[in-house]
Chains A and B, each alone.
Chain A
Amino acid sequence: MKSKSKPGASRYRMWSFLFCAPNIILFIVFFLIPAVIGVWYSFTNYNGLSRLDFIGLQNYDRLFHDVEFYSVLLNTIKYTVVSVPLCYVVSLGLALLLANDRIRGNAITRILVYWPTLLSSIMVGVTWKWLFSESYGFINYVLTVYGIEPVRWFSNPTSAFITTIVASAWSGCGVNMLIFIGGIKQVPQDLYEAARIDGATWWQQFKVITFPALKPLSFMVILLEIVGSFKVFAMPLTLTNGGPGTATTYMIQYIYKTGFERLDVGYSSAVSMVMFVILLLVSYLQTRINAKHEEEY
């Protein structure tokens, strides 16, 4: 039944509007207005207090000549390029390992792998900061026990970067693993039986049956992960504080730093707009790939 064609449609229209009204207001006040203000700020020299003059494209001009901006953008891209494939492979691997309910221990392992995804980013940061701690941290202790020189994890750009990757994989894989397990369980079992009768190896079964069946889920997971890794903020903030220097400062932290600490709101908004365009491109890609995919099936 579609209410449009029915008599009394205007009554339904009123009700549908009433049901949506709270979310419409929230959408306008906390999304649309900030978005519009953000675009406007990016063309001004607003400093959070009084000054607010239109300065055209100056912020963008400054941005594209700012070494710091490029290094932060590069950090974020590096983080995305490393963490997303890693998380994808680990999640898929864990899903393949843990999907079978008959293997003893799988149920409890699933719970334990999923658990960190429930923690806040701050908690994840604290947990790993404690493990990687340069003085009396567990990981350095294990290294010294095996006669390896302890690593000053947070003092070196590369090792600090590694800590953020490890923490993101630990805290992010559980959800994706569950999504993949859900997908694996929907693959008809007789496909595998037929493959086994034909003498297909485990790897062949994965390549021909499981992997293609998980393709739509893979797209979804990868693109969610990309958006998520661009948004990463509180975890590296707690873990490395963006350091050493700006080696692990990612986009959101940079937006926060320029907007709220340096009170360079106009400039910060210009950074936001660049990031918005990047996310827009990512989701455009997502819809394109999805559309292409749906055509195939």
Chain B
Amino acid sequence: MIRKNTLKSAGKSVVSILFAIIWAFPCVWMILSSFKPTSELFSYPLHLFPQEWTMLNFHKALQEFDILQYMGNSVFVAIVATIFTVLFSCMCGFALAKYDSKWLSFFFLCLLSTTMLPTEIIMSPSFEVIRALGMYDSLWACIVPAIGSMTGIFLMRQFFVSVPNDFLEAARIDGADEGVIFFRIMFPICMSQVAILSIFSFRWRWNDYIWPLISLYTKEKYTLQLALRSISAMDSISLDWGLLLGASVLTMIPVLVIFVIFNKQIMSSSMSSGIKG
């Protein structure tokens, strides 16, 4: 019996590893390809590992393509937007959880409705708004419109609903006003939510394509995704695969680093709340 069980679990392990290989392969292939010289990328037979390791593709991405410029833009957008998203979502989530009034419930419904009409659908009018605000061709156009996050507000609201009201009441009796209560007491206790939302928000902005697409015009202001798209949009003859692979792998690194450090938090929050990208 024991024998049979170990055999069975060994079989399951094999199937599990098989799926791991299938899922990991595309990225592994891309990463290994990025170390191959162009001559090797386009000659049969293909080898999993480069016959001749080269950093040329990364060199090209750094020197000719100026990827650091785009990376800088993306970092700026992601960090600034994340700071505001976290702060504003926290404030709004707190208000929605701890105050009771008709207009708050109404506002919550309004926020829920934003999931039905995503920016992707109303690109042209959003573009007009950006233009009217004078944000066209500025990185702020990728930051300000994206600060409001339904997921973020919802996450914070759920947390504050679980915080006992006595906590709040005690502080009120001590004479603290609501602003002090929020920033001194409430904000510090939701740090684990802040961490999760920060990770997700950073990744949303890092991976965002829609807002940069409609609002950035000058090439120096491109974010990484837009810059990557500008290479991959070339027709198949002039497409520089070496550069594209090198730039793609470099783009992946920050997300990979965050994932390696925080994979437990990221995955457990996905498991319990189903936060999506």
A residues whose Cβ falls under 8 Å from a Cβ of B = 1-4, 11-13, 15-16, 18-20, 22-24, 26-27, 29-31, 33-35, 37-38, 41, 48, 94, 97-98, 100, 102-106, 108-123, 125-131, 133-136, 138, 141, 144-145, 170, 175, 178-179, 181-182, 220-221, 224, 227-228, 231, 233-234, 237-238, 241, 252, 255-256, 259-260, 265, 268-269, 272, 275-276, 279-280, 283
Contacts and interface: CB of A to CB of B under 8 A. Distances in A.
A1 to B, nearest CB: 4
A125 B111 CA distance: 31
Contacts of B117: 31, 35, 276, 279
A26 B84 CA distance: 12
A111 B13 CA distance: 15
A118 B125 contact: no
B110 to A, nearest CB: 6
Contact of A141 (B44, B120, B169): B44
B116 A106 contact: no
A237 B209 CA distance: 11
Interface residues of B, number: 98
Nearest to B152: A23
B54 interface: no
A178 B244 CA distance: 31
Given A35-B125, A122-B228, A138 B29 contact: yes
Contacts of A280: 116
Contacts, number: 272
B138 interface: no
Nearest first, the 3 closest Cβ-Cβ pairs linking A and B are A120-B207, A26-B148, A19-B95
B248 interface: yes
Contact of B110 (A27, A105, A125): A27
Interface string B109-123: 011001111111111
Interface of B: 9, 12-13, 15-17, 19-20, 23-24, 26-27, 29-30, 33, 41-46, 84, 88-89, 91-92, 94-96, 98-101, 104, 107, 110-111, 114-129, 133, 144-145, 147-148, 153, 165-166, 168-169, 177-179, 182, 203, 206-210, 213-214, 225, 228-229, 232-233, 236, 241, 244-245, 248, 251-252, 255, 259, 263, 266-267, 270-272, 274, 276-277
Contacts of B15: 97
B171 to A, nearest CB: 12
15 contacts: A1-B165, A3-B100, A26-B145, A27-B111, A37-B128, A113-B19, A113-B23, A115-B259, A130-B29, A136-B43, A138-B29, A141-B45, A170-B26, A175-B274, A255-B124
B182 to A, nearest CB: 7
Contacts of B206: 120
B267 A178 contact: yes
Given A11-B178, A133-B241, 5 more contacts: A1-B169, A24-B107, A120-B225, A122-B228, A276-B121
B77 to A, nearest CB: 13
Contact of A127 (B12, B13, B26, B213): B26
A23 B232 CA distance: 36
B116 A38 contact: no
Nearest to B30: A127
Given A27-B111, A34-B126, A238 B101 contact: no
Nearest to A125: B232
Contacts of B110: 27
A192 B26 CA distance: 37
B101 A16 contact: yes
